[in-house]
Chains A and B, each alone.
Chain A
Amino acid sequence: MTTIYVADTGVFVRCGGPDNEKFRRLRRALQQADASLRIPQRVYEELGGDPAAEAYPSGNIPYPDGFEEGWIVVADELDYTNALVSTVMDDTRRFVANETGRDEDRIEKADTALVGLAAQLLDTGEADSVVLLTTDKPAGKAAETILGDHGFAGQIGYRYASEEYLETITAAEFQVDDS
């Protein structure tokens, strides 16, 4: 049983700030569990995409250290030719639009990258189960509902990356391989 942990932008924002205490705690938890966080390309772009955000204490996130140390990994590009990935992302767009009371054309396909990546990891067999760490509640809910409908119930879960969750996280949260 291989479990892959996929992290969203909100996880790293929550870990930002001057002392980066939560960042260090997250690193320790992952390293002790010999686990890593997979981030979609989209999240990578969001984290590095706004130099103006450096004015914020929480915009000061040492996430590049995670790449060097190997506990944050940028995921492969999404394979839109994979029918499941494409379908799940379209379904997620509709789900998020409905959940947020927005028109569907206001939701970009890239917004659904987190769920698309989970679909890809499960469909290719790279992961037996996927856990999403996110503050995007509509996407988290979409992942559980839609991937559940596609036969992955019990193989997909989402954790809301709250302050408390990251303040208390330990290696026990990351069970990479149960076999």
Chain B
Amino acid sequence: MAKSPPRSEQGPLHQLETIADLFETPPLARIYAHVLQHGAVTVSDLVEALDVPQGTAYDYVQKLETAALIEKVSDQRPYEYDAEPLSLTLSTDGETRTVTPALIAAVARRDDDDDVDVFVDRHGLDGLATALDYAFEYVDGSVNHRITARELDISPLEAEIILQALEPVAETYDTSE
């Protein structure tokens, strides 16, 4: 008989729900992005690094752990948590979008960079995901704000603002190096 142990108690659809929460809750995305980048970390590490209230940090860590987006990697207190990079591809009517750690990190930046927040208000999460693709090219030197503006149908000024705002994310998650 085939054995297929679930990755978590709750299963993949619950994980999808939590990923949707990440998009809507930048502080949750920040915690997840931090664990991804700096794991293994304790809740105290998160509180210190991200300047979030301890109660919030505990709640969010538990939420991420329940959805199996992060896992406990130590047996003793204080527990340490780590995460496997996620890659989730969604397809709707001819459009495909992959949810990557970089995209989660871009969403997380809404919390500490108002430029990113304004951009998402104006162009949505799909707009942010597209801008992030351009930010990777911008860091590589294979696009500039003028071409970006034309291809995204925004002004050169707005293009430069969002490219600069996403530059740190693109630098951190650059896979070409």
- Given A56-B118, A57-B114, CB of A9 within 8 Å of CB of B141: no
How long is the Cα–Cα vector from A106 to B150 in the complex, in angstroms? 9
Task: Please choose the segment from A25-33, A81-89, A131-139, A171-179 that sits at the chain B interface, where 4 or more of its residues have CB less than 8 A away.
Answer: A131-139
Nearest to A140 among chain B residues (CB) is B141
Interface of chain A, main secondary structure? helix
Verify A59–B144 contact, CB threshold 8 A: no
Verify A59–B164 contact, CB threshold 8 A: no
Interface size bracket, A side: 20 to 34
Contact with B along A101-112 (1 / 0, CB 8 A): 110001110010
A79 at the interface (CB under 8 A from B): no
CB within 8 Å of B: which A1-54 residues: 9-10, 13-14, 16, 46-47, 49-50, 52-53
- B140 to nearest A CB, angstroms? 8
- A113 to nearest B CB, angstroms? 10
CB within 8 Å of B: which A96-123 residues: 96, 99-102, 106-108, 111
B115 at the interface (CB under 8 A from A): yes
A94 CB contacts on chain B under 8 angstroms: none
A/B pair count, beta carbons within 8 Å: 87
Verify B144–A58 contact, CB threshold 8 A: no
B141 CB contacts on chain A under 8 angstroms: 99, 137-138, 141
A139 CB contacts on chain B under 8 angstroms: 144
- A26 to nearest B CB, angstroms? 15
Verify B147–A10 contact, CB threshold 8 A: no
How long is the Cα–Cα vector from A48 to B162 in the complex, in angstroms? 17
Nearest to B143 among chain A residues (CB) is A100
- Given A10-B164, A13-B161, A106-B150, CB of A49 within 8 Å of CB of B144: no
Name A59's contact: one of B146, B147, B158, B167 (CB within 8 Å): B158
Verify A53–B147 contact, CB threshold 8 A: no
B155 CB contacts on chain A under 8 angstroms: 46, 49-50, 52-53
B145 at the interface (CB under 8 A from A): yes
Verify A9–B115 contact, CB threshold 8 A: no
Verify B144–A137 contact, CB threshold 8 A: yes
- Given A100-B147, A102-B147, A138-B144, CB of A13 within 8 Å of CB of B164: yes
B89 CB contacts on chain A under 8 angstroms: none
Can you list 12 residue pairs at the A/B interface with Cβ under 8 Å?
A14-B164, A46-B156, A50-B156, A55-B118, A55-B122, A99-B141, A99-B142, A106-B150, A135-B138, A135-B163, A136-B144, A138-B142
**Residues of A participating in the B interface, judged by any CB pair closer than 8 Å:** 9-10, 13-14, 16, 46-47, 49-50, 52-53, 55-59, 96, 99-102, 106-108, 111, 135-139, 141, 163
Of all A-B residue pairs in the complex, the 5 with the closest CB atoms, nearest first, are: A137-B141, A50-B155, A136-B144, A46-B156, A53-B157
Known: A53-B157, A58-B161, A108-B150. 5 other contacts (CB 8 A): A9-B160, A100-B144, A135-B138, A135-B163, A136-B146
